[in-house]
Chain A
Amino acid sequence: MDRIVKNRIILEFDGRAENVSLSRVTVAALAAQLSVTLSELEEIKVATSEAVSNAIIHGYQNNPEKTVRLVCTLYEDWLEVEVKDEGVGIKDIKQALQPAFSSDPERMGLGFVFMQSFMDEVVVDSQVNLGTTVTLRKKISSSGVKNKAVS
């Protein structure tokens, strides 16, 4: 994307459940540098949480010694969150993106549904045994004066 980068963070962390909240709070703190509304901020947090949870649960099969890499970039009016694992990969991306598809009976396969509902673009790039990169992009309305986040 040929756009002016306003700010960028790169974060690498162990695939531990504790780091899911750390990652979404970090992304939200960075996103708050744009004119985001509180509701947009909440959507960004949920989408990030889903992408990072997927990397840990599915990509790394809950192996905490593996590293998740998160790159969050702010453009003038876009936020981009890239979550990368070097885990098992997804055999069938199309199937994984289906609502109600989950390999775990206690999950509803909602992760990608939330990512797709809350972000403007969701790109999944995956290769079996090499890993998965999920890129989430959200357009931030520059006129976000209404309900602007004050954090």
Chain B
Amino acid sequence: MTHILQNKNDTLVVKVVGELDMLTAQEFREIVEKAMAGALVRNMIIDLDKAGFIDSSGIGVILGRYRKIKAQNGVMVLCGMNENIKRILEMSGILSFIPFCSSEKESWEIIAKKAFKGA
């Protein structure tokens, strides 16, 4: 499990590689929290293109970060999920309030639009 992080224009891009379950959700939480504490992070893109599995622990950790981003009027976008992951996220209900798209490029467009509108 690797989380590749990039911070550009106050937006943290988190790339999930591998599985997001109870074990890796904990790693994800720690790494992202550290990144958020060390730099100005307003928005977040979570790229799931290389994620192979997610369960409720993984959804919980995404939801936790979403609440933090939302609390500071930032925008979170999920992108690049495969069919199985998308089905699970849909069932969880989080896709009804977290915007999602197919690529990181589109995520930047969503953020630009939402940030312009004042989120």
Contacts and interface: CB of A to CB of B under 8 A. Distances in A.
A82 interface: no
A96 interface: no
A131 to B, nearest CB: 19
Interface string A41-64: 010011001100100110000000
Contacts of B73: none
A13 interface: no
Contacts of A53: 21-22, 55-57
B4 interface: no
Contacts, number: 58
Q: For chain B, which range describes its interface: under 10, 10 to 19, 20 to 34, or 35 or more residues?
A: 10 to 19
Contacts of A49: 21-22, 53, 55, 57
A21 B59 contact: no
B91 interface: yes
Contacts of A110: 56, 59-60, 92
Nearest to A111: B56
B59 A20 contact: no
A21 B21 contact: yes
Main secondary structure, interface of B, reads: helix
A57 B84 contact: no
Nearest to B58: A49
Given A17-B26, A114-B88, A107 B19 contact: no
B92 A108 contact: yes
Contacts of B23: 17-18, 20-21
A74 to B, nearest CB: 22
B41 interface: no
Contacts of B57: 49, 53, 107
Contacts of A20: 21-23
Given A21-B19, A114-B91, A117-B91, A108 B26 contact: no
Please list the 8 inter-chain residue pairs (A to B) with the smallest Cβ-Cβ separation, ordered nearest first: A17-B23, A110-B56, A107-B60, A106-B64, A49-B55, A53-B22, A42-B84, A17-B22
Given A17-B21, A110-B59, 13 more contacts: A17-B23, A18-B23, A20-B23, A21-B23, A49-B22, A53-B56, A53-B57, A106-B60, A107-B56, A107-B60, A110-B56, A114-B56, A114-B88
